[in-house]
Amino acid sequence: MSERKKLAKASLESLYRIFTVPEAPDSTLGQIDRSISQNLAGFLQEHIVAAERDLADIERDFADPHIPEQPTFVSDQIQFVLDKLVAQSVHISAPSFVGHMTSALPYFMLPLSRIMMALNQNLVKVETSKAFTPMERQVIGMVHHLIYQQSDTFYQRWMHDRGHALGSFCSGGTIANLTALWAARNNVLAPRGDFAGLGQEGLLAGMQHYGYQGLAILVSERGHYSLGKAADILGIGRRSLIGIETDANNKIRTDLLARKCDELAKQNIKVMAIVGIVGTSETGNVDPLDEMADIAAERQIHFHVDSAWGGPTLFSDKYRSLLKGIERADSVTLDAHKQLYVPMGAGICVFRNPETLSSVEHHAEYIIRKGSKDLGSHTVEGSRPGMAILVHSGLQIIGRQGYELLIDQGIEKARSFAEMIKAEEDFELVTEPELNILTYRYLPADIQQALLAATEDSRIEANQRLNLLTKSIQKTQRGLGRSFVSRTRLNPVRYQRDPIVVFRAVLANPLTTTDILSDMLAEQREIAARPAMLAQLADVRALLGIG
Amino acid sequence: MSERKKLAKASLESLYRIFTVPEAPDSTLGQIDRSISQNLAGFLQEHIVAAERDLADIERDFADPHIPEQPTFVSDQIQFVLDKLVAQSVHISAPSFVGHMTSALPYFMLPLSRIMMALNQNLVKVETSKAFTPMERQVIGMVHHLIYQQSDTFYQRWMHDRGHALGSFCSGGTIANLTALWAARNNVLAPRGDFAGLGQEGLLAGMQHYGYQGLAILVSERGHYSLGKAADILGIGRRSLIGIETDANNKIRTDLLARKCDELAKQNIKVMAIVGIVGTSETGNVDPLDEMADIAAERQIHFHVDSAWGGPTLFSDKYRSLLKGIERADSVTLDAHKQLYVPMGAGICVFRNPETLSSVEHHAEYIIRKGSKDLGSHTVEGSRPGMAILVHSGLQIIGRQGYELLIDQGIEKARSFAEMIKAEEDFELVTEPELNILTYRYLPADIQQALLAATEDSRIEANQRLNLLTKSIQKTQRGLGRSFVSRTRLNPVRYQRDPIVVFRAVLANPLTTTDILSDMLAEQREIAARPAMLAQLADVRALLGIG
């Protein structure tokens, strides 16, 4: 049957057809579907237009706020999707896209996703998910075991327990962090005497009952922006998320952390959580978790670890020790859509103690009833898709050893890339890769030397101009569409904490080769040799007196 | 290439292969993939086992907390998924599954989902989503227009404005409601003088600055459980979500609402939001939005409408007027994964005033920078998938007229079903369908009459026993696997607000026929004729003196 006939006008009969008759294999959609399953890389290569179009220009294709009155043929809409949306999307899975935390996906994820979509289970309750509920509980249990290594008896007792949850599966690390901090906050102002708990009575009543002047969350200045958002949402306020200074390696200074805890205690401000980071978003560094755990334990503070990025490093025999102390965390965030190589929309938060998450437990009449095993009783979200099937399959098909190889090759590739950058005369490595993230900038050797010898004013001024240059190079390279690094702003000790704009490379795609990285540097050098950029460099040299 | 060879042991070479070589068409996964695209209904029919297995039994297949050391063959894992997960999943899309808010999906949603998964865009920022960002802004704009019908100039000005968002696309109605209430709360305690706003300084400082004794949210007693959760998360406390009594039709009593507002004002408790409902989860009723808007406007209170379920009724020329007043709401929640027939994981919240959501705006250094068009600056979530492509395509392919037909047939089918129930001697319609949801129970006519004439004690006792019977019938029917209604507990005026357990039918699947509904009633009658059930009925009759 031709697609053209499928929905020529809105009639009940034509509507029934879109619910019952599949796309014909020779239809536009049928062909694309086959082409993606047979050769994904080829499909993306063919359809994503490399050269960047201006966003304002793209917006013209998405400017109409009116929902069309008449139905559109499936084939027409699909052609629109191909020409206007796919063509102008980002080639996330390209081996030369090393700018953000999204990588290529294993092939099996796509047909598996279709099984998930076709079943369309809703994980909020057993009645709409059945076996998906125990499956998700197992996935949470596996991640719990990866981190906490509890006994088999522990998991027999708790993994499928109807009154408890070892963690929460959610759409991503932001909600995972929010879940952990929500539980921590509610445990700090827990029911006591005639106080029914913050969850029931609110923050104000809780503070009055416990006699606190305020609540605070402590994290290094490299903490993820989701923590500030959580502080806002939870009513603590962004100013009560206190950023502790980091050392030259972007790790939290535990001496300052301990001191701040004690200062706050004196002010009668209760620290509701200390947050350690495994793989900071910008530099990929790991906080000294064991020392942080000591500080938290001494003061009975909830210790949360945000390992959204770096958690899977635990798969690696070689690098696992970097995370020592994570097993002492009260809660841990891990994103499956990052280094578990699952499509977007899968985060997990696990809790060492099966009771911790009970502080946010909730029920309703028609679903997530008391005594049910419905997962919705311990989640921020309500209705949720069965993404856990993708994590389950990833863990089975790739296995611990497979993930270990993925992790190891990423870290080792980052180290090779760092060596390449250091060997180049005109690049500066700004942060060494501890995991698989590093930052650098374009900076010819003569400017580099002059910068370190310059007066404070000249140095600051020169770095400001260099920041503009780095931005221009990054944007130009992105626009050319062959490769992509992101950029961020750091305050390196080397430059007395001047704000420095850097390129940020994330090396998680196993298909990225050192040749690709070498080409990327070459392209950046070429861009820097354009007249406009050369003029900027000349200005900087003049400023530093080496013109 | 045979799957067996694909990942026999973890080696880098075998790992590269799962990232680069698609499933062979004759592999298990390849065959399933084809079978789903060619005949979804057949695939589900064949693989989902109808008869219910005990959950404890299913859990045995998901009991191991250890991540396997060695990789598993793709084909082995897929066989496991088929036998243990798909077989024991819920047949959500079956026309006889009328128990929850998840329906069948149009066929085109599945291959489109694969395009989405293959592109794996991340909507938090333009750099990882490009054209998906304006596309999502358009979808938000279209939903905004559906509700608020602003001028073309309005959308030209605001839809793609870098400093604003007309709404927030998220994983579902729960996060949508949370987003709306977060914005409302922050606007109530907005920056003023030397107070930097609740977002920065926290709830406690905000209350002190404004001199409020408390905050409250008002909604009918039929409000969705996500509102209680939001009250907890936002630090207001569940007790400050005040449930207002409903009338005999499950609509909020606006006289009591107004009175409560004034009472709270006298106590110096600030009402941060009044929430109206379009399609209560349990009975599908619509609050009198226009009157609620009056009450909110007079008192300058944020008026939020939770139309997660019923919002798409706006597509219907015939029934749109039921929602009169929604265009006066400050914010509106609508779930695309409900009556826009999109797979699980797509909710939307829109705001009448483009400034409202600015109270939750946030930025970071490496993404969602100030001045960018990154959508992540106005969302609860961080990284998010490109689900908006499915909503965009649904709106185009089905069109306003197509959705109208879907909405109308659902409401009319519910009315027919209500007539069927009323015509039966042994069923009681408990709530009439205003939209496409109704509730009823098995209740032979003689008991029905005796109940209405009984003393209070006997009536309460009899209803309690009937509740057990209703539960048993619902569970038994679910276990038989041919059809499914859910159940909930209501407090109908007819029984002096005794708690009454009822069957709940949601009629959104266009493939559900009246024959199917008739068979469902017949099956319930058969179940009620089983000896154990008959005995329960005899007890009730004895109690009421009609044994």
* Whether A117 and B23 lie within 8 Å, measured CB to CB: no
Take residue A39 and report the two structure tokens written for it.
């050769």
Looking at beta carbons, which residues of chain B come within 8 Å of A22? 37-40, 107
* Whether B106 and A19 lie within 8 Å, measured CB to CB: yes
Looking at beta carbons, which residues of chain A come within 8 Å of B226? 382
Alpha carbon A140 to its chain's center? 18
- CA distances to A118, B31, B49 from A112, rounded to whole Å, are 10, 12, 19
The answer to whether A306 contacts chain B (CB < 8 Å) is no
The answer to whether A162 contacts chain B (CB < 8 Å) is no
Best mutation target among A128, A198, A272, A349 (most B Cβ atoms within 10 Å) is A128
Q: How confident is the model at residue A3 (pLDDT cuts 50, 70, 90)?
A: very low
Q: Cβ contacts of residue B391 below 8 Å, gap of 6+?
A: B139, B336, B340, B342, B346, B348
User: How buried is residue B74: exposed, middle or buried, by Cβ count under 10 Å (0-12/13-18/19+)?
Assistant: buried
The answer to whether A217 contacts chain B (CB < 8 Å) is no
**Dihedral of the alpha carbons of B141, B144, B146, B147, in degrees to the nearest 10:** -170
Nearest-10 crossing angle of helices B225-233, A173-188: 70
Q: Cβ contacts of residue B400 below 8 Å, gap of 6+?
A: A67, A68, A69, A70, B315
pLDDT tens, chain B, 547 aa long = 344 444 456 688 888 889 988 888 899 999 999 999 999 999 999 999 877 789 999 999 999 999 999 999 999 999 999 999 999 999 999 999 999 998 899 999 999 999 999 999 999 999 999 999 999 999 999 999 999 999 999 999 999 999 999 999 999 999 999 999 999 999 999 999 999 999 999 999 999 999 999 999 999 999 999 999 999 999 999 999 999 999 999 999 999 999 999 999 999 999 999 999 999 999 999 999 999 999 999 999 999 999 999 999 999 999 999 999 999 999 999 999 999 999 999 999 999 999 999 999 998 877 778 888 999 999 999 999 999 999 999 999 999 999 999 999 999 999 999 999 999 999 999 999 999 999 999 999 999 999 999 999 999 999 999 999 999 999 999 989 889 999 999 999 999 999 999 999 999 999 999 999 999 999 999 999 999 999 999 999 999 999 7
pLDDT tens-place string over residues B145-189: 999 999 999 999 999 999 999 999 999 999 999 999 999 999 999
The pLDDT value recorded for residue B10 is 67
The answer to whether A151 contacts chain B (CB < 8 Å) is no
Looking at beta carbons, which residues of chain A come within 8 Å of B100? 122, 127-128
The pLDDT value recorded for residue B6 is 47
What three-state secondary structure class fits B300? coil
Measured at the CA of A85, the angle between CA B348 and CA B113, to 5 degrees, comes to 60
Q: Cα separation of A156 and B65, whole Å?
A: 9
Residue corresponding to tokens 């305690």: B189
Q: Which amino acid is at A287?
A: D
Best mutation target among A26, A119, A407, A477 (most B Cβ atoms within 10 Å) is A119
The answer to whether B24 contacts chain A (CB < 8 Å) is no
ipTM of the complex: 0.96
Contact B71, B7 (CB under 8 A): yes
224-263 in chain A: CB under 8 A from chain B: 225-226, 228-229, 232-240
Take residue A531 and report the two structure tokens written for it.
């007249």
